[in-house]
Amino acid sequence: MKFKTSLSQLTLKCLAVLGLTVAASHAFAQAETPAKGVFWEVKSEKNTAYLFGSIHLAKASFYPLPEAVDKAYKQADTLVVEVDTTDTKAAEKAMPFFTYTAPDKLENHIKKTTWESLQSLVGPAAAQFQSLKPTIVATALSIGVFRQQGYDASKGVDLHYVLRAKQDKKEIVELESTAFQASVLGGLPDEDADAMLAQTLDGLKSGDTLRETAGMIAAWKSGDAEGLAKILQDAASKDAGSKKLMKLLLDDRNQGMSKKILDLHEKGKKLFIVVGAGHLTGANSIIELLEKQGLEVKQIK
């Protein structure tokens, strides 16, 4: 996935020690202005909740977020997130999903051409990846591009609200567990994992990754949910493998997250929900699934 979900944020914590360097481009540059973001009101006869789409690596310049978003957070008694990324113990327990046990190694699980492509991109640093699964390498390389452009997990929108909610002593509810997210990304069959890594390497070399991600960030910052959905749809339509990964990493997870949101909503809790923006746009999104359950959903622009 080129648009980061919290799977990527978790991976960043585990891989920060690698100090990766990936060639970057000015195509990724964004104007340093506060972000609007993508934001929805969700209503039933008895309750109102608010959904804000997150990006998990951001910049200090994106803040402050719009007043309407801040007001929605303040009225809530419960913050709902994909996972609480400040839970370091949970992150440590997830590490086995990301790595191979020696003497097994990355090179044994990917095609020769994919291994050679990785070597051509990062040179001798490819040896640092041997203990990691292909999907984790792909995510780490993509995060490296984000970081070179000044994006930082410590400025991520979901982390911003988790830290704030803890300070304000609000209840925090996780829609998923860290272990579950790690198992999704680290549990792909070799064929699919190799395809994800190969596509990531191709995108980095061609500049497509930079252009696509720049478009997603620009759409998110301007509150263009339709534009964001189109970029994600185009990415999923590249080939059968991309479509399969999109279903696994977004569509399938949306089912479980929307059900839990609906349960919390029906219990009468005042919810401020922050999930990756890719989960909230387009077909099979959390927004669409909540609408199918009879809730009134309106984007606040």
Full-prediction pTM beyond 0.85?
yes
Domain membership of residue 172 (yes or no) is: yes
The number of folded domains in the chain is 1
CA distances from 126 to 103, 106, 145, 231, 289 (A): 16, 10, 16, 30, 41
In a domain, 51, yes or no: yes
Assigned token pair, 75: 């009225």
Question: Which residues constitute the domain of residue 174?
Answer: 6-16+34-299
**Which residues have CB under 8 Å from 105's CB, separation 6+?**
130, 131
- Cα separation, 99 vs 208, in Å, equals 28
Counted residue by residue, the chain has a size of: 301
Q: How many whole angstroms separate alpha carbon 259 and alpha carbon 113? A: 41
Q: Kindly state whether residue 1 falls inside one of the protein's structural domains.
A: no
Quick check: is 24 in a domain?
no
> Is there a domain that residue 82 lies in?
yes
Is the link from the previous residue into 64 a cis peptide, with omega within 30 of 0?
yes
The verdict on residue 38 lying in a domain is: yes
Distance in angstroms (rounded) separating the CA atoms of residues 235 and 215:
12
d(CA 87, CA 15): 16
Domain contains 26: no
Instruction: Provide the residue-wise pLDDT of the chain in tens; the chain has 301 residues.
Output: 334 444 444 344 333 333 333 333 344 455 567 899 999 999 999 999 999 999 988 999 999 999 999 999 999 999 999 999 899 888 888 888 999 999 999 999 999 999 999 999 999 999 999 999 999 999 889 888 888 888 888 999 999 999 999 999 999 999 999 899 889 888 999 999 999 899 999 999 998 888 888 888 999 999 999 999 998 888 777 777 777 878 888 899 999 999 999 999 999 999 999 999 999 998 999 999 999 999 999 999 8
In a domain, 23, yes or no: no
- Give the residue from 290, 74, 219, 254 showing the smallest Cα distance to 298: 290
